[in-house]
Structure 1
Amino acid sequence: MRLSEVCEFLDGYLKIELYQDVSNNGLQVEGRDEVRKVAFAVDACMETFRAAKKSGADMLVVHHGLIWGGIDSLRGVMKRRVSYLLENEISLYAVHLPLDAHREVGNNAVLLRKIGAEPESEFGEYRGVKIGYSAELSDATTPSNIAARFPSAMLLPFGKERVRRVAVVSGRGGFAIKEAIECGIELFITGEAEHEVYHIAKEGGVNVIFLGHYESERYGVESLMNVVGEKLKVETAFIDVPTNL
């Protein structure tokens, strides 16, 4: 399959043109024209690039790309990263907010399904768009039961002992804690354990689960990988490079 065909599918499926993002979503580094295998990962970094090459991938799709608004210079770490991709003819495609917000394969929608809920209302306004979702569990459960499904979860038990109304904003989603309180959310799930969330959640009486930034954003990448493999009939591979953060 041609690189342009893969990019055209991703651009359209993820609707990248709808988002004002700090990330330059789409093809960031152009490699070889023929794509036989596509690797998927959370972060664009040398460890991921080397693993992509070892797997035989012609293209790498990531959530966190290399270019955020522009490139100030090509030296040091940036030079080494770009040089490696170009020397090995590996294309780099990045998709940030569009993957957070996607109702089918997005980080937040997939996280809700992992705890037994279907995404309902859009939630978590960022740069003028909602990138997360809220939902209602079919049966009330304890926040600790939900936290137990994720190995890295950290729970702030500041709300009801049993919850049904939940909301998810992956990654650095602490900005939505006030919205969670205002909307009557009983359990808010996000990635990074941001310090300022603690007292707001405690005073607002809402439970919070921090999954870790990486852990909260691997599931959307994996779901997108499955769609690409099925729709485009290309070989795929997930590259797991956890940061434990």
Structure 2
Amino acid sequence: MSPVDASLRDVVDALDAELRTRDVPDYGGAVNGLQLANAGVVRRVATAVDFSRAAAEGAAAAGADLLVVHHGMFWGGAQPIVGPAYERLRTLLARDVAVYASHLPLDMHPTLGNNALLARELGLVPDGGFARYKTIDVGVSGEADMETAEIAARASAFAARWGGALRHTPIAPGRRTRRWGICTGAGASSDTLREAGERGLDTLVVGEGPHHTAVDAAERDVTVIYAGHYATETLGVRAVGAWLESRFGLPWTFVGEPTGL
């Protein structure tokens, strides 16, 4: 595909509008939207789950002018730009690569979002939300009538494609899923398990969760399938890459950096 010149401002405005970047609440450190500018032109896009040195170098190697990530540059407040932080920025500035981040706005998007796309991967059809955060449902939920072991098998195949290994709480032979919920990334918590009980869910598919969630799940008679934080969040950024190509004609590439987690 021949290079297409798109204005960085036009690309950012389109992403902000599609993802409702200014409207969706998020954690304070997320800083959704354009995080690093370039000279103002985009000809090629790179996407990655995490902002990292590998992502920066991968974007530069691909000749990208814009890097779109799910976990952005800022999370822990002000920090000195030294060591790895400096190396990331040095690579991006040297190659004039802009950075755009979308966390919860991308998680919850109805067509480009991690949760909706994971449901599709597993053959599940959402009919509602899940994983309430402030005024939004980050995840999705729905009805089914299938063996829980089959959902786990599909999730295992998906996780394996991204270098992950599936884990889940015990699944009794013949157990069936009637009401399920999905929350990608760090989706298992005391809050989501409590919400599962309130919504009458019997199966949760998440990225990861702390040890105590497996104990809590057993007491609540909820099966939790841990499909991997990284794997479950590869979906959204790749969908954004395809969306930008469709919208602006921009070629794109995904920079993979599996963590196994």
**TM-score calculated relative to the size of structure 2:** 0.88
Closer, same or farther in 2 for the Cα pair 1:112/1:188, shift >3 Å? same
CA deviation string 1:80-130 (max 9, x = no partner): 222221121111100000001111111001111111222221111124421
Structure 2 counterpart of 1:6, from 11, 19, 42? 11
Q: Aligned partners of 1:147, 1:225: CA distance in 2, in Å?
A: 28
Quick one: distance in 1 between partners of 2:176 and 2:45?
Answer: 42
Structure 2 CA distance for aligned equivalents of residues 231 and 187 of structure 1: 36
Shift of 1:135: 1.1
2:187/2:209 contact within 8 Å kept: no
Alignment of 1:95 with 2:102, yes or no, is yes
Within 5 A, what are the aligned runs for 1:96-135?
Answer: 96-135=103-142
Alignment of 1:189 with 2:196, yes or no, is: no
Counterpart residue number, 1:155: 168
- Which structure 1 residue ranges, 5 or more long, are not aligned? none
In structure 2, what is the Cα distance between the partners aligned to 1:26 and 1:71? 18
Query: What's the CA shift for 1:54?
Result: 1.1
2 CA distance for matches of 1:158 and 1:203? 14
Cα deviation code 1:212-239 (max 9, x no counterpart): 1101111122122211111121111111
CA distance in 1, matches of 2:77, 2:217: 35
Query: 1:148-168: CA deviations, max 9, x gaps?
Result: 223232121357701131110
**In the alignment, is the contact (CA less than 8 A) between 1:103 and 1:119 conserved in 2?**
no
Structure 1 counterpart of 2:257, one-letter code: V
What amino acid sits opposite 1:90 in the alignment?
Answer: V
1:32 paired residue number: 39
| Residue number among 41, 56, 81 corresponding to 1:49 in the alignment | 56
Aligned equivalents of 1:89, 1:186: Cα separation in 2? 48
Q: Secondary structure at the match of 2:125?
A: coil
Q: Distance in 2 between matches of 1:231 and 1:71?
A: 35
Question: 240, 246, 259: which one pairs with 1:224?
Answer: 240
Residue 169 of structure 1 pairs with residue 187 of structure 2 = no
Map residues 139-150 of structure 1 onto 2, 5 A cutoff.
140-149=145-154, 150=158
Give me the whole-angstrom Cα distance separating, in 2, the residues matched to 1:158 and 1:179: 21
> How far does residue 206 in structure 1 lie from its aligned partner after superposition?
0.7
* In 2: Cα distance, 1:98 partner to 1:183 partner: 23
Residues in 2 aligned to 1:124 and 1:6: alpha-carbon distance in whole angstroms: 30
Q: CA deviation at 1:70?
A: 4.3
> Does the 8 A contact of 2:149 with 2:171 survive in 1?
no
Root-mean-square deviation (CA, aligned residues, Å) is 1.6
| Partner Cα separation in structure 2 for residue 162 and residue 53 of structure 1 | 47
| Count of residue correspondences | 243
Segments of structure 2 that go 5 or more residues without pairing to the other structure are: 1-5
